[in-house]
Structure 1
Amino acid sequence: MSEILRTFKHPPAGDLSSHCIPIIARGVVRGRLRPITMDTVRNEAEIKLIAEWREASSAWFTTQFPASEEGTRQWIEQQVLGADDRILFFVEDEEGAPVGQVGLLHYDEITKQCEYDNLLRGRKGKFGNIMSYALITLGIWSIEVLDVQVGYIRVVADNYRAIRIYQSLGAEEVERSPLVKLEENGVTRWLPAPAEGNAEPERELVTMRIRRESFLEILRSNHAK
């Protein structure tokens, strides 16, 4: 199954479109998921977009730092394209313009689990709910292509809007972990609080679980409309 991720991230020349996944909402194609590939690494405009989106949403990451274009390029090449258990997609609207990103990581072929990750809206698309449907599309794809049985989402507890979106898709909270802040060399990290600490946590990380049945129920409802 990891070979499937590699194929989507490194498609044959001229074959990228066949590795894009249509985003369908109530029977209408509203955009697509386009896998991020080496073409993006070489595309200055797309690297700039991703860096800007990361910077704008930095408050919701557990590691916060000034997002440079070169750092973004290295992250994509090394941490995304170079990882066997990870993939990242551009979310494109009906006109083919990138409006956000979404991906998965920690895909485990044995347990059939993964973590849905990096759901970021960069700008408002023509279709207002495209980011929710992008996650639904990724969830269905992960079930049908990777045979994922259960997925996890990790989100900081004060990101209320994101939590509401995940709950509306059937995700349920399964764990809440206290975090403490560490600032060093211009980088802010929210780390697990020491078990022996008595101080109130400065922040919390919520782990949510979404089972394949939730995505399949959304799929059935989508087809019924």
Structure 2
Amino acid sequence: MKELLKRYKYAPADQLPSYCIPITVNGKTCGRLRPITPDTLHSEEEIRLLTEWRSASGEWFTTQFPVTEHGTRQWLEQQVLQADDRILFFVDDEDWNPIAQVGFLHYDEVKKQCEFDNLLRGRKGRFGNIMIYALLALGEWSIRVLDLQTGYLNVLADNARAIAIYKKLGFQEETRTPLVKQVEGDVTRWVVAEDDDTGGEAQRYLVTMKVRTEGFYETLKQIL
């Protein structure tokens, strides 16, 4: 299956539409998930968008730093495209303009599970809740094509808006991990707290949420 992910990530430009995953609302296509390929590395506009989205949502990541286009390009090439267990998609609106990104990593062929990650919306499309349908499209594709059995994600506990969306998609809280802040220069990290770090009280919490195939399909029936 990792070879399949590689085919999606390295699809030639003239074949890319056949690798896109449609996003449907009430039976109508309102967008698509477009695999991010090496072509994005040479697109100033797409690198700019990825950089802006990451910078605007920085407070919701456990590692926070000044985001640059150079750093985004390096991250995309080294940590996404070259990783055999990871894929990232643009969420394109009905006019095929990129408005968000979604993806997953740590795809495990044996356990049939992965971590959904980098779920960022840049702007609203015509459908205000397109991100919900984009995640439904990604989940359905992951089950159908990759035989995914369990999906999980990590989200900061104070990100109430994101948690509400994930619950709507069928994710349930599994664990809650205490975090403390570490600052090194212009980089801030929220790291797992040791018992003597918190002084009896954590500064933030990281929530791990999971959804299994049966729960996802139940959600899919309710929403679609």
State the TM bucket, normalised to the shorter chain.
over 0.9
Q: Normalising by structure 2, what TM-score?
A: 0.96
Match of 1:45 in 2: 45
Does the 8 Å CA contact 1:174/1:209 hold for their aligned counterparts?
A: yes
Are positions 1:218 and 2:222 aligned together? no
- C-alpha distance in 1 between matches for 2:50 and 2:84: 21
Separation in 2 of the partners of 1:115 and 1:20? 20
Deviation at 1:192, TM superposition (A): 0.3
Maintained 8 Å contact 2:180/2:197? no
**In the alignment, which residue of structure 1 is the partner of 2:182?**
182
User: What letter corresponds to residue 19 of structure 1 in structure 2?
Assistant: Y
Residue 112 of structure 1 is matched in structure 2 by 112
Name the aligned partner's letter for residue 111 of structure 1: K
Aligned residues: 223
Which residue pairs with 1:207 in the alignment?
A: 208
Q: CA deviation at 1:185?
A: 2.1
Write out aligned runs for 1:64-213 (5 A).
64-199=64-199, 200-213=201-214
- TM-superposed deviation, 1:13: 4.6
Deviation readout 1:27-61 (Å, 9 max, x if unpaired):
11110000000010110100000000000000000
Percent identical pairs in the alignment equals: 61
Paired position in structure 1 for 2:59: 59
* SS of structure 1 residue aligned to 2:71: helix
> Given residue 212 of structure 2, which amino acid in structure 1 is its aligned partner?
R
User: Residue 195 of structure 1: CA displacement?
Assistant: 3.2
SS of the residue 2:85 aligns to:
coil
Distance 1:33 1:197, change over 3 A: same
Unaligned runs of 5+ in 1: none
SS across alignment from 1:181: strand
Paired with 2:7 and 2:221, the residues of 1 have a C-alpha distance of 28
Q: Counterpart amino acid of 1:16?
A: L
Superposition CA RMSD, Å? 1.1
In structure 2, list runs of 5 or more residues that go unmatched.
Answer: none
Looking at structure 1, the residues matched to 205 and 67 of structure 2 have their Cα atoms a distance apart, in angstroms, of 23
The Cα shift of 1:14 comes to: 1.3
Say if 2:115 and 2:153, in contact at 8 Å, map to a contact too: yes
SS in structure 2 at match of 1:14: helix
Q: Could you say if the C-alpha distance between residues 78 and 198 of structure 1 is closer, same or farther in structure 2, counting changes exceeding 3 Å?
A: closer
Return the offset for 1:198. 4.7
Q: TM-score, normalised by structure 1?
A: 0.96
CA distance in 2, matches of 1:63, 1:158: 15
Runs of 4+ off more than 6 Å: none
What is the rounded CA distance, in whole Å, between the counterparts of 2:57 and 2:198 in structure 1? 30
Give the conservation status (yes or no) of the 8 Å contact 1:25–1:222. Answer: no
One-letter amino acid matched to 1:171: F
